[in-house]
Amino acid sequence: MVEEQILRGDLGALGEEALTEFVESRRWFGSKAQDVAGVRVLDSAVLRTQVPLLAAAIAEVRFGGGTHELYQLLLGFRPAEEGWEQDVVAELEGWVAYDALNDPPLARELVHMMRGETTVQAGEGAVEFRSVDFGGFADISDPRPVGVEQSNTSVVFGDELILKAYRRIEPGINPELELLRFLTEIQFPHIAPLVGWYAYSGQLIDATLGVLQEFLPGSRDGWDLALAEIASDPNGFLARLRRLGEVTGELHSALAANPSDPDFCPEEPSAESLALLTATVDEEIEQVFLDLDPDDETLGPIAGRGEEVRERLRLISHAGAVGRVIRTHGDYHLGQVLWTGEDWVVLDFEGEPARPLAERRNKRSPLRDVAGMLRSFAYAASAAELTTGSPPPEGWEERAREEFLGGYWDVVDRTIVPPGADGRQRLLTVFELEKAVYELRYELNNRPDWVRIPVAGIVRLLESDG
C-alpha cells in the first residue's frame, strides 16, 4: 500500500507532523527562531523504484505570519524489518522513511543519474540530472558523509567526488553552480572542477538542487592549517598567505575576463553605488548597536560607540572611485580555501547563505572578498590563542594582511579595483567594517566566547587612520 503510494510519487503518508518535527530538528533548517506552522510536500519525484526507494521532494515550511520557505528533501524508504534508524522522518505501515544521503546506494544513485543525464518527471515539474565531465570517474565508490553545513549536506565518494545537496532552495540558478560552471569551462586551476549537477524545474520553481565536484584528497582546510601553523611555523604560513593573495587575484581576474557574458562581464557601478553600500552598512551597524547588551563586559570597548562607528563609515565612504563590479566569491574566508599540499584551491561559491539568492548573484567590488579574508586572519590569530593557549607572534596579523594584499595587488586585474592606494584602502575598510558588524551579530547569537574578535576588529577600524 504505502510502497505503491510512494512509487506514485504521493508522499502524503508522511504526515505534516512528522515532517515538521524532522525539518525543525535539522541543522540545515535556517529559520529556527520563527514559529513553524507546518511543513508539506509540494512536489516530488521518485528517483529509484527498487528497495531502498529514493524520492526527491520540494517541501514548503510555513510560518505563523504567513511567510514560507522551500527546502529540498531526499528521502529513502526501506521496509521496517531492515531496522534502519538513522535520521528517520517517519515510520509508516511497515516502512521507514529517512534522510537518504546517509544511505550508500541512494547517494550513489544521485551520482549515477548525473552521469546518465537522467530527467525524472515529478508531479508538476521534473528533476534534471546533468553531467559536465565524468571523464575519469567510472566506478562510484561508497559514500561517506562529511559534515552537515548550515545550508547544505555533503557526501564524499571514495577519494574522488563530493556531492553537495542544497537544503533551502530559492528560485533561480545557485551562484555556486553558475561560478563553478564558468570556472570549470575556462579550466581555472584553483577550484575543484564541476563534474555534474541536478536541478528541479517546473512551474512551481526553477532551482539548483545540488552540485558534484572533484574531491581533493589530502587537502587541508585553510582554517585548520592556519591554526596549526600559527603555532608551529607562523612565518611559513605567511608565505602561504602571499600565495593565497595571488590565487585570489587570479580568481577575480578570471571572473572578470569575459566581457561578452552578461552574467559575468565587469560593470561600471552606478553613481550612487557607494552611497548604496554605505546606507546598507550603516543600517546594519544601527541595528546591531540597537540590540547590544549594555551590561556585557566583552562589549565594553565598543559600548555606546555606535554613532562613532557610523560617523567613521561616513568619513571613509565619501567620494573616490570604486573600481568595477564583478561576480565574486561572496563569502570568502580561510574556511573556504584548501591547501592541496602544493597550492590553494577555492571552495563554496554559494555566497552568504543568509542573504537572498538574488542578492548573492549581484556583482560587487572584488574587494569585498578581500576584506572577508582579512577579517578571517583576525579570527585565526584569536582562535589560535583560544585553542592552543599561545598567541601568534607580535604583529602576525598585520604581516598576514601585508603578505596577502601584496600577493593580491601584484596579480589582480587593475581595471576592476580602485586606481589609487588610498581609494582601495578606504573601500577595504568599508567592507571590513561591514564584515565585522555582521560577525558581531553572528557571534552574539551563536558563540558569545568569540564576541571579542569582532569587537577588537571594530575598535581597530575606529582607531585606524585614513
How far apart CA 373 and CA 376 sit, in angstroms, is 5
Among positive and negative, which fits the CA dihedral 111, 112, 118, 119?
negative
Q: Which is nearer to another protein, 23 or 400 (CB)?
A: 23
Q: How far apart are CA 351 and CA 355, in angstroms?
A: 8
Please give the Cα distance from 233 to 68 (Å, whole number). Answer: 49
Cα distance between residue 428 and residue 371, in whole Å: 6
Q: Which stretch binds another protein (CB under 8 A): 11-19, 199-207, 230-238, 390-398?
A: 199-207
Angle between helices 306-316 and 421-446 (to 10 degrees): 150
Taking the CA of residue 252 as centre, how many other CA atoms within 13 Å lie in the half-sphere pointing to its CB? 31
Least distance (Å) between residue 402 CB and another protein: 32
Is the Cβ of residue 38 or residue 234 nearer to another protein in the bound state? 38
Q: Binders of another protein among 100-129, rule CB under 8 A?
A: 128
Residues 254-313 that bind another protein (CB under 8 A): 269-273, 275-276, 278-280, 282-283, 286, 310
Instruction: Give 200 or 344: the residue with its C-beta nearer to another protein.
Output: 200
346-405 residues near another protein, rule: CB under 8 A: 356, 358-359, 361-362
Compute the distance between CA of residue 358 and CA of residue 29 in angstroms, rounded to an integer.
Answer: 20
Give the span between the Cα atoms of 187 and 257, in whole angstroms: 13
**Closest to another protein by CB, 128 or 214:** 128
Give residues 420-459 in contact with another protein (rule: CB under 8 A). none
Q: Total number of residues binding another protein (CB under 8 A)?
A: 39
Choose which of 70, 107, 114, 384 interacts with another protein (CB under 8 A). Answer: 70
Determine contact, residues 386/448, Cβ cutoff 8 Å: no
Q: Which of residues 28 and 289 has its CB atom nearest to another protein in the complex?
A: 289
DSSP designation for 188:
-
Q: Contacting another protein (CB under 8 A), which of 1, 25, 27, 64?
A: 64
Residue 94 neighbours by CB under 8 Å, 6+ apart: 2, 79, 80, 81
The minimum distance between CB 73 and another protein, in angstroms, equals 17
Q: For another protein, give the closer residue by CB, 280 or 464.
A: 280
Q: What are phi and psi of 277, to 5 degrees?
A: -60, -45
Q: Is 65 helix (H, G, I), strand (E, B) or coil?
A: coil
Q: Does 37 bind another protein (CB under 8 A)?
A: yes
Q: Is the dihedral of CA 179, 181, 182, 188 positive or negative?
A: positive
| H or E element, residue 197 | strand 194-201
Least distance in angstroms from the C-beta of 271 to another protein: 5
Choices 167-175, 212-220, 327-335, 398-406 (CB under 8 A): range interacting with another protein: 167-175
Q: Which is nearer to another protein, 356 or 393 (CB)?
A: 356
Q: Give the nearest distance from C-beta 171 to another protein in angstroms.
A: 5
CA distance 337 to 315: 33
Query: What number of other Cβ atoms are within 10 A of residue 195's Cβ?
Result: 26
* Residues in region 211-250 near another protein by CB under 8 A: none
3-state secondary structure of 144: strand
Q: Which of 66, 135, 218, 395 binds another protein (CB under 8 A)?
A: 66
Q: Which range of residues in 61-69, 83-91, 111-119, 449-457 is near another protein by CB under 8 A? A: 61-69
The CA–CA distances, whole Å, from 53 to 2, 77, 197, 397 equal 12, 5, 21, 52
Q: CB-wise, 128 or 350, nearer to another protein? A: 128
Interacting residue ranges for another protein, rule: CB under 8 A: 35, 37, 64-67, 70, 128, 171-173, 199, 201, 203-206, 208, 269-273, 275-276, 278-280, 282-283, 286, 310, 314, 317, 356, 358-359, 361-362
